[in-house]
Structure 1
Amino acid sequence: MVYESAFVPEGQKPFPRTILNEPSVSKYVEGWGKQSGDIGLIAENEQQAIGAIWLRLFDEAQKGFGNAETPEIGIAILKEFRGKGIEHALMRALEAEAIKFEYQKLCLNVDPRNSACRLYKQLDYVHVGWHDTYWIMEKKLV
């Protein structure tokens, strides 16, 4: 699902699967569940994983676009299941779990050309800055 989460603009070649070995990508799944505060949810259709959402809190040395108090979100939906409300349901479910962990806010990064920006705005995520060519979006939970 981490590979599926990589946005590829229309008409461009997909990333090579070796991108999963890049430290900037692999840090989102290495040692999953061993770190306190890791949260992940999977959407299934007939016992097949069709989507996933996860969050992880990073220290200052490893952070990407969040900070030491704000976990970073990743989300992926298989292409044939996008636009069916699964993204929305996963986002809401993850937010509910994050509140149980007493996180104050969440953040994500998204290519501004990605149609998912509309969903994030509908869910009250706000563009707060840039990380390379990606928007950083945050949502206050409480």
Structure 2
Amino acid sequence: MFYIRNLENEFEFFLDMLYESIHIPESKPSKEALLNSPDIRKYHEGWGRRGDRALIAFNTKNQAVGAVWYRLFDDNTKSYGFIDCNTPEIGIAVSEEVRGKGVGTLLMRKIIQQAKDEGYINISLSVDLKNDAAINIYKKLGFKDYEVVGTSKTMIYKL
């Protein structure tokens, strides 16, 4: 059993999950190096601005086990899954010990509902082309292919 709530005091856990969400199968840089690189820093720097939302999943022992988030970007700070300035981009990761137990799907459904409640028309995400398991889950949730850029696929969900 898992429960979901808004990010409160778990910013370090959020950063851990952001690091985990970045698919680099071999020679992945350290958390500090990767999260401070210019292409990744924009996903967390100044967190708490308009359009930032994060949800944290907890197990029955009240341990954080997963996170999903979205953030708005603009033409000057385009993200990997950038569609436009009004489409938040989602990121997600779950702790290794709970993978395959439905936490990711639960988080995705909650963040989709959150985006609907906040009046967004679309949400997007970027996924590594080789991450077939994630792509299949996103398609089952209703995400559609939008474009391929380099080694990543951008997908969109129309709310």
Give TM-score, length-normalised by structure 1: 0.91
Instruction: Return the alpha-carbon distance in structure 2 between the equivalents of residues 30 and 131 of structure 1.
Output: 24
**Alignment partner of 2:147 out of 129, 133, 137:** 129
The offset of 1:101, in angstroms, is: 1.2
Q: Residue 108 of structure 1: which of 113, 122, 125 is its match?
A: 125
Q: Is it true that 1:72 corresponds to 2:86 in the alignment? A: no
Identity of aligned residues (%): 43
Q: What is the alpha-carbon distance in structure 1 between the residues aligned to residue 119 and residue 54 of structure 2?
A: 16
Deviation at residue 43 of structure 1 after TM alignment: 0.6
Q: Distance in 1 between matches of 2:107 and 2:22?
A: 17
User: Match of 2:141, as an amino acid?
Assistant: L
The aligned length equals: 138
Counterpart position of 1:13: 27
CA RMSD of aligned residues (A): 1.2
Describe the shift of the 1:48–1:2 C-alpha distance in structure 2 as closer, same or farther (beyond 3 A).
Answer: same
The secondary structure found in structure 1 opposite 2:57 is strand
Match of 1:49 in 2: 64
Specify the code of the residue in structure 1 equivalent to 2:66. G
Q: Does 1:89 align with 2:103?
A: no
Q: Which runs of 5+ in 2 are unaligned?
A: 1-16
Partner of 2:38: 23
- Deviation, structure 1 residue 40: 0.5
Cα deviation, 1:31-72, whole Å, max 9, x if unaligned, reads 111x11211100112222111000001111112132211111
Higher normalized helix content (fraction of residues): 2
How far is 1:86 from its partner?
0.5
Question: Is 1:38 matched with 2:52?
Answer: yes
